[in-house]
Amino acid sequence: MTKQDVLKQYFGYDTFRGGQEEIIDALLAGRDVLAVMPTGAGKSVCYQVPALLLPGITLVVSPLVSLMRDQVTQLVQMGVPAAYLNSSLTYRQYLLALDRAREGRYKIIYVAPERLDTEGFQSFVRSAQISMVAVDEAHCISQWGQDFRPAYLNIPDFVDRLPQRPVVGAFTATATSEVREDIQRLLELEAPLSITTGFDRDNLYLEVCRPSVKRVELLARVRERPGECGIVYCSTRKNVEEVCQFLQSSGISATRYHAGLEPEERQQNQEDFLFDRVQVMVATNAFGMGIDKSDVRFVIHYNMPKDLESYYQEAGRAGRDGAEARCILLYSGQDVRTAQFLISQSEPSEQLDPETARQLQERDLGRLKQMTFYCCTRRCLRQYILNYFGQSAPDYCGACYNCLHNFQEIDVGEDARAILRCVAETGQRFGAGLIAAVLCGGENEKIRRYRLERERTYGALAALSQREVQDRIRFLVDEHILELTDGQYPVLRCGERAEDVAYSDGPLMMKAVREERPAADRRRAEDSPLTERQQALFQRLREERAHLARLRGVPAFVIFSDKTLREMAAAQPRDLRQLQNVGGVGSFKAEQYGAQFLEIISDFQETAAI
Ligand code: ADP
Ligand code: ZN
């Protein structure tokens, strides 16, 4: 079998997503990997596919019980022999699972880091062939990460003691360089393929809103999406209690989750949400890591989180299935003060010396500032986030609130010609900042030194701000009308298309931030809308899915995602072969459930024909 076959047959997907193929190839070739991918990008496929192709067993070290259980349930549904070993098993269950593992019944075994050192597990791995160790949520090994977990530090020792060193893959969504370096060093990765995939999640709609009364806004947003499930994040337990009660008293099916609840209640509430028995989960940030529910259609932040890392991770729990989903942040100035207070009060961990503790606090305040800027900017929110994570992005995404409301199309033909003239007459040797300053008629040391105030284009765009001129320059670079050299001090030069523009007098349209009126287009159409009939079929398919999920005692999305059912309703396959052309339908699932879903579709078509 090839990796493509595995992807198709087990997972039901036709193509790999960005980064997946490279990672899989490296692991199969025996090269360690350090992969940074945003939540929802598809990390698990990166180790699950090679696990099925490598000869022996793959161990997945994972920090959370619920995460393991979900992943294993999903794998078993796809026909992959998998199991988990953690504290949720009774001792007998644990021994039984180990016995089966010894018999070679599992291809993939999820294990908590604390288990690695135990006697039973050690004796098992000594006699087994371990081909790969995949470390999920690898940032837990670093004290710079958000969820430091000391037991992760035992992993390299564990790997060393294996009879044969397996290939090691580390996976995380945390991108900062400190954490990345820690992972590589502490996990003792050997010349790993280090890969950071794009952080864009183009199915997520982003919005920040400043409501006068948050509750009213929240209720309206939840009601906007009847029947769709979502998460509402609050910063404190008290807020969780209040908001949850408010939603319930307004007739919304909601439940809550925070560290102050009894473990049984937490577990129960989480499952109610997972199994679609309630629509909305109101929670603190304690809820989420390990929640793999792929059909979460909205994540609303009732309070601003303390940094963009947390925000994007939490918001990223929406739309993991790839279908359109909304991430809305309800902002108020009070949130900033609360966050400042929390940072100043936070107890430094005992393992830190005072100097490091002080640095950490300073870093946290810096991050909070960036988070606050996100809430206040009128520019593209996606661009803001991507830039924050060190990735460049166009000024306009067309799928965030700001792009849809604050942008307009303007003709920058004349401005572009002025910029080109300025770049040319100053000798193509200055950067964007200085060129903008010259065009705006600014004054600074460099302008005086190079006597740039004598250039003909000096002050030619004085009607614009330097920022607006820089926006135009960036746009011209994107359009290859200008080009930016590499190196430490990038310099602007005329690009491939410079002449087309310089010698024409036609318009050149650019999207730019505007102050008021709304615009109407968007980059990514919502998933192509279903017709009314298809919508009706989609509902029937969802009912069937709910029925099957109840029968088997698994969450509905484990059977098929919303995106898969939507595609099914549009394509209306007639046989198993056609059914497998639908994204998310692998052979095992087709065999398990195909007949039931095909029957619904053909019944539906017959009633339509009458
Ligand atoms: P992460 O762990 O990075 O947050 P997951 O591994 O849970 O993300 O994947 C998110 C979703 O994307 C899952 O529903 C998964 O099945 C889906 N997915 C992963 N790879 C692909 C692919 N190549 N094509 C389509 N869907 C994919
Ligand atoms: Zn945007």
> Which of 8-31 are b and which e, b meaning 16 or more Cβ less than 10 Å from the residue's Cβ?
bbbbbbeebeebbbbbbebbbeeb
Task: Pull the structure tokens for residue 54.
Answer: 């490598």
| Whether residues 20 and 133 fall in one domain | yes
| Whether residues 179 and 210 fall in one domain | no
For the CA of 288, the nearest ligand? 1
The pLDDT value recorded for residue 471 is 87
Q: For Cα atoms 102, 106, 111, give the angle at the middle one, nearest 5 degrees.
A: 85
- The candidate with the shortest Cα–Cα distance to 89, out of 129, 125, 120, 58, is 120
Say which CATH number the domain at 77 has: 3.40.50.300
Ligand 1: residue whose CA is nearest its atom 23: 16
| Whether residues 243 and 375 fall in one domain | yes
| Whether residues 214 and 178 fall in one domain | no
Q: 39 CA distance to ligand 1 centroid (A)?
A: 9
pTM, rounded to two decimals? 0.68
**What is the C-alpha separation between 283 and 254, in angstroms, rounded?**
10
Examine residue 222 and state whether it is found in any structural domain, yes or no: yes
Ligand 1: residue whose CA is nearest its atom 24: 13
Q: How far apart are the first and last CA of the chain?
A: 45
The pLDDT value recorded for residue 609 is 63
Q: With the C-alpha atoms ordered 221, 209, 385, 282, is the resulting torsion angle positive or negative?
A: negative
| Whether residues 395 and 429 fall in one domain | no
Task: Pull the structure tokens for residue 16.
Answer: 């790999």
The atom number, within ligand 1, closest to the CA of 15 reads 23
Q: Which of 45, 77, 312, 565 to mutate to test the pocket of ligand 1 (most atoms within 8 A of CB)?
A: 45
The pLDDT value recorded for residue 526 is 47
**What is the C-alpha separation between 171 and 174, in angstroms, rounded?**
9
Q: 298 CA distance to ligand 2 centroid (A)?
A: 18
| Whether residues 182 and 210 fall in one domain | no
Ligand 1: residue whose CA is nearest its atom 25: 13
Examine residue 520 and state whether it is found in any structural domain, yes or no: no
| Whether residues 109 and 186 fall in one domain | yes
Average pLDDT, 10 consecutive residues per value, the chain (610 residues)? 94 90 96 90 94 96 86 92 90 91 93 92 92 95 78 94 95 82 94 89 93 91 91 95 97 95 93 93 86 89 93 92 94 90 76 78 89 91 90 88 86 93 93 94 91 92 88 89 86 92 87 54 54 89 91 87 91 91 90 92 80
* CB neighbour class for 130 (10 Å; exposed up to 12, middle 13-18, buried from 19): buried
- The candidate with the shortest Cα–Cα distance to 576, out of 586, 562, 565, 564, is 586
Q: 362 CA distance to ligand 1 centroid (A)?
A: 35
Ligand 1: residue whose CA is nearest its atom 15: 42
For the CA of 404, the nearest ligand? 2
Distances (CA, A) of 91 to 28, 86, 97, 108: 35, 10, 10, 20
Examine residue 395 and state whether it is found in any structural domain, yes or no: yes
Say which CATH number the domain at 447 has: 1.10.10.10
Ligand 1: residue whose CA is nearest its atom 14: 321
The atom number, within ligand 1, closest to the CA of 37 reads 3
Examine residue 519 and state whether it is found in any structural domain, yes or no: no
Number of separate domains in the chain = 4
**What is the C-alpha separation between 384 and 479, in angstroms, rounded?**
20
| Whether residues 392 and 416 fall in one domain | no
Examine residue 344 and state whether it is found in any structural domain, yes or no: yes
The pLDDT value recorded for residue 197 is 84
Q: With the C-alpha atoms ordered 493, 499, 501, 503, is the resulting torsion angle positive or negative?
A: positive
Contact by Cβ (8 Å): 457, 417: no
Contact by Cβ (8 Å): 396, 472: no
The atom number, within ligand 1, closest to the CA of 16 reads 23
**What is the C-alpha separation between 215 and 375, in angstroms, rounded?**
18
- Which amino acid is present at 501? V
| Whether residues 192 and 279 fall in one domain | no
Pocket of ligand 1 (CB under 6 A): 13, 16-17, 20, 37, 39-45, 292, 294, 320-322
| Whether residues 11 and 133 fall in one domain | yes
Task: Pull the structure tokens for residue 469.
Answer: 């001129």
The atom number, within ligand 1, closest to the CA of 316 reads 4
Using CA atoms of 243, 249, 250, 255 in order, give the dihedral in degrees to the nearest 10. Answer: 50
The atom number, within ligand 1, closest to the CA of 136 reads 2
**What is the C-alpha separation between 560 and 294, in angstroms, rounded?**
10
The pLDDT value recorded for residue 38 is 83
- Which residues is 170 bridged to in the sheet? 34, 135
Examine residue 524 and state whether it is found in any structural domain, yes or no: no
Say which CATH number the domain at 574 has: 1.10.150.80
Single out the residue in 367, 382, 400 at which a domain terminates: 400
For the CA of 208, the nearest ligand? 2
Q: List, in order, residues 6 or more apart from 38 with CB less than 8 Å away.
A: 173, 197, 198, 199, 201, 312, 316
Q: Which of 6, 11, 39, 564 to mutate to test the pocket of ligand 1 (most atoms within 8 A of CB)?
A: 11
The pLDDT value recorded for residue 217 is 92
Examine residue 517 and state whether it is found in any structural domain, yes or no: no
The pLDDT value recorded for residue 289 is 66
Q: 560 CA distance to ligand 1 centroid (A)?
A: 13
Single out the residue in 196, 223, 243 at which a domain terminates: 196
| Whether residues 579 and 437 fall in one domain | no
The pLDDT value recorded for residue 35 is 95
Q: Which domain holds residue 554?
A: 529-609
The pLDDT value recorded for residue 423 is 95
| Whether residues 142 and 27 fall in one domain | yes
Examine residue 518 and state whether it is found in any structural domain, yes or no: no
Task: Pull the structure tokens for residue 501.
Answer: 């523009």
**What is the C-alpha separation between 301 and 305, in angstroms, rounded?**
8
Single out the residue in 179, 196, 213 at which a domain terminates: 196
Q: 42 CA distance to ligand 2 centroid (A)?
A: 23
